[in-house]
Amino acid sequence: MFTVGIDVGGSTTKIVGYNENDGMFSPIQVKANDAVASIYGAFGKFISECKLSIDDISKVIITGVGSAYINDSIYNLPTFRVNEFTAIGLGGLRISGLESAVIVSMGTGTAFVKATGTEIVRIGGSGVGGGTILGLAALMLKKHDIDAVIALASKPLSVLHAAPISTVPVGSCVHAGPYNDCPQNACNMIP
């Protein structure tokens, strides 16, 4: 039997399988504008790609900001919600094989979590992470792929143009993470 872990983040939903024989396997990422659609889409893609059936899964563990939208079991499987910082701490220790560590999780934002055998504590973080960079790149550069952003970043800039701050409406886009969801005209790109 397999356990399925789902992290419903601000930009992407990540899903992974686990069992005692194989350990962690088949991490998959999906994107959707709706947290519930993203969860069920990730789940369907995961069982299809892994050639599993619902009967092969013993439980589902969800975490992340979007997990708050799930109030019932997923596909009638035992479903458990885990605090995101607990998941980061326990997952970091498990993957690293260490007994204590500071784990950095870079998603839409960045979290620093101290984990030991007896406690897990969020020790800091920022609203800026990989999702923020991708969101800004989508709006300002019309690039949606991290490899394309890295390629652009490696080129020298001859001239940098900036819009006056007053021309960039804030609206519902309070931080850069949700920029992918903002209207295309929310930021003025100066050619």
C-alpha to C-alpha distance for 186 and 169, rounded to whole angstroms: 6
Q: How many CA atoms lie within 13 A of 52 on its CB side?
A: 22
Over residues 103-126, mean pLDDT: 89
Reported as a pLDDT band with limits 50, 70 and 90, residue 121 is very high
Mean pLDDT score across all residues of the chain: 80
Residues 96 and 59 grouped into a single domain: no
Tell me the whole-structure pTM to 2 decimals: 0.69
Cα 144-145-149 angle, rounded to 5 deg: 95
Percent of the chain with pLDDT over 70: 82
User: Which pairing describes strands 101-106 and 110-115: parallel, antiparallel, or unpaired?
Assistant: antiparallel
- The answer as to whether 171 is a domain residue is yes
More confident residue, 185 or 11: 11
The number of residues in the chain equals 191
Q: Are residues 78 and 155 in the same domain?
A: no
Q: Which residue has the tokens 């479903």?
A: 79
**Which whole number is the average pLDDT over 60-75?**
90
Residues spanned by the domain of 167: 130-186
Cα 2 to Cα 38, 73, 129: the distances in Å are 20, 16, 31
> Is 191 among the domain residues?
no
CATH for 27: 3.30.420.40
Residue 154 falls within a domain, yes or no? yes
Distance CA 1, CA 6 (A): 17
Largest CA distance in the chain: 58
Q: pLDDT of 135-163, one tens digit each?
A: 888 888 888 888 888 888 887 765 445 55
Does 89 share its domain with 160?
A: no
Q: What is the pLDDT, as a whole number, of residue 117? A: 81
